[in-house]
Structure 1
C-alpha cells in the first residue's frame, strides 16, 4: 500500500475513534462528502499535523461540503 493509502487508513481510524463511529459509518460519510479525495490531495500537508488537527480539518471540509449542497 502507498504511503497515502496508509495515511488514509490512519485518518479513518482517528476520525472513527474521535467521533465514536463505526467503520461503515465513516466510510459512508467520507463517500457522501468525497473526503477520500480530499485526504489524498492534501496528504503532504495533513500528514505533518497532529491527530486533533486532522479530525478538525475533516470536520471543516465536511461542513463546507454540506453548505454547498444546501445553497
Structure 2
C-alpha cells in the first residue's frame, strides 16, 4: 500500500501526536536492534568467537542512550 504524498503550503509543524508516533517508532526500532544484538551474540556468535560476542554486546550497550536521545529529540520547544 502506497502512502499519500503530503503537500503543505505553509511551514506548519506536524501535530504532536504524529511527532510522538515517529519518535516511538525510532525508539522501538533501536531497542529491538539492541535486543537482537544481545540475543544473537550470546546464543550463536559466542560459540564461534567470544570476542565478537563481547564486541556485539558493547555496541548493544551504546544503543539505549542513543535511543533515549532520539526519543526526546526536538521536544524542548
**Normalised TM-score (structure 2):** 0.30
Report the structure, 1 or 2, having the larger helix content: 1
**Normalised TM-score (structure 1):** 0.31
Larger radius of gyration: 2
